[in-house]
Structure 1
Amino acid sequence: MEKIRVLIADDHALVREGLRKLLELDENIQIITEVGDGQGAINIARREKPDVVLMDVNMPGTDGIVATRVIKKECPHTHVVALTIYEDEEVVEMVRAGVSAYVLKDVAGSDLIDTIHRVMQGEVVIHPRVANRLVRELARNDKKKEDLRLTRREKDVLQLLVRGNTNKEMADIMFISEKTVKNHLTSIFKKLSVKDRTQAAVYALKNQIVSDD
């Protein structure tokens, strides 16, 4: 049986040392190396293609979320196990980034080793408290999307707004009156919870409601 090759990424040296000593108790696990930041994890992952990365969520510079996105894009067969002290708000972003497991750092050593073996078998492992947080956050995000409910015409107006068209230009392009354009904008601002055109454009692009083409 080939050993599971593991990369440890955490900005605290004591945590890295503790994880190394713990994982070395399993003869089927091989520690490739340790790094203290997300960019270091990306660099090593590109070169070594580890089986598993133990990824601290909160690190200075390139954090665990960005590092996970890059690693999963460039090394899709590498499993990322997110490690954190808290039930972070970032749990949704880490899951979207492609983690195979999300565990708290107070997890028992045997459970962490078991998690590594389980993700290698294709399982997704989420700590129960984190799972509760994830469900709540996803429900909140779904509600937010539901509340938007932009109409087709409102999306068209928003697209033109992002492109920099004036109200008159929008009216001419859409064959409607300027008053109707203003009504659409009022409705859009309310649904997006923004105050002006600039905020609406930024929100629309950030949340990929429309494109900047």
Structure 2
Amino acid sequence: MIRVVIANDKPLLREGLRRILEVHEDIDVVAEVGDGQGAINISRKMPFDLLLMNLNMPGTSCLQTCSVIRREYPAISILILAFETSDQRIDQLLKLGVAGYLSKDIDPQHLIDAIRKIHRGEFILSPEVMERHREQHTKTELRINNFGLSSRELEILNYVVKGASNKDIGLALFISEKTVKNHLSNIFKKLEVSDRTQAALKAVRTKMVTLE
């Protein structure tokens, strides 16, 4: 049996969720609360498996509620329902260890499936949130792999790997040698190296630049 607590500040929505869940024999709605503090209080009074919580509620915020419950009762899984798909809010909640983040317009059967999967130890994100999270993660990875180098700095680093002099790089990119030197100084700082040779070796080793 999956014991569920519903946390939602709208009585009508709480009732709707209860009716959706309780028609399934393996799910038992053991309590309903109207705010985050209520969710914290009920977690301290009775055992349950999953908190089905609205993202935006008055009083104690969703983030504060999740933080307290995850710290005090890590065995309780938390599933967030929201219209909002803010990358920052999602990242904050995922770092706190919520088990799922779904759109409020999810159909009832998908909600039931999500609750069952979470109870089995799976992690759930709605497709639109998953896509945005994947895009953000990819952008972060690229930023890390490139050590924060700009497109111009990467271009200059390519020439450095090929053995081009500052004068050659300036002529190729239609910039002055002084500008090349300034870019190289920034490149060395970001790569945490002290000269062109070290920069070239690190660029090849980390696959920022490939040797043709």
Assess same fold via TM > 0.5.
Answer: yes
Q: 1:62 to 1:136 in 2, by over 3 A?
A: farther
**Secondary structure of 1:62's aligned partner:** coil
Out of 4, 22, 25, the residue aligned to residue 23 of structure 2 is: 25
**Number of residue-to-residue matches in the alignment:** 148
**Amino acid in structure 2 at the alignment position of 1:96:** K
What residue in structure 2 maps to residue 34 of structure 1?
A: 32
Out of 54, 62, 68, the residue aligned to residue 52 of structure 2 is: 54
> Where in structure 2 are there 5+ consecutive unaligned residues?
150-185, 191-212
The structure that has the greater radius of gyration is 2
Q: 1:66 to 1:141 in 2, by over 3 A?
A: farther
What residue in structure 2 maps to residue 93 of structure 1?
A: 92
CA distance in 1, matches of 2:110, 2:104: 11
What residue in structure 2 maps to residue 83 of structure 1?
A: 81
Alpha-carbon offset, residue 134 of structure 1: 1.8
Match runs of 1:130-149 below 5 Å: 130-139=129-138, 147=148
What residue in structure 2 maps to residue 13 of structure 1?
A: 11
Is 2:103 the counterpart of 1:111?
no
User: What do residues 136-176 of structure 1 show as CA deviations (whole Å, max 9, x unaligned)?
Assistant: 3445566777649xxxxxxxxxxxxxxxxxxxxxxxxxxxx
Alpha-carbon offset, residue 97 of structure 1: 1.2
User: What do residues 59-105 of structure 1 show as CA deviations (whole Å, max 9, x unaligned)?
Assistant: 12212121111111111111101110232331111111111111111
Q: 1:11 to 1:147 in 2, by over 3 A?
A: farther
Q: 1:147 to 1:10 in 2, by over 3 A?
A: farther
**Secondary structure of 1:40's aligned partner:** helix
Q: Identity rate of aligned residues, in percent? A: 39
Q: 1:36 to 1:142 in 2, by over 3 A?
A: farther
Q: Would you say the 8 A contact 1:92–1:137 is kept in 2?
A: no
> Where in structure 1 are there 5+ consecutive unaligned residues?
149-186, 192-213
Q: TM-score, normalised by structure 1?
A: 0.63
**Secondary structure of 1:15's aligned partner:** helix
CA distance in 2, matches of 1:54, 1:144: 35
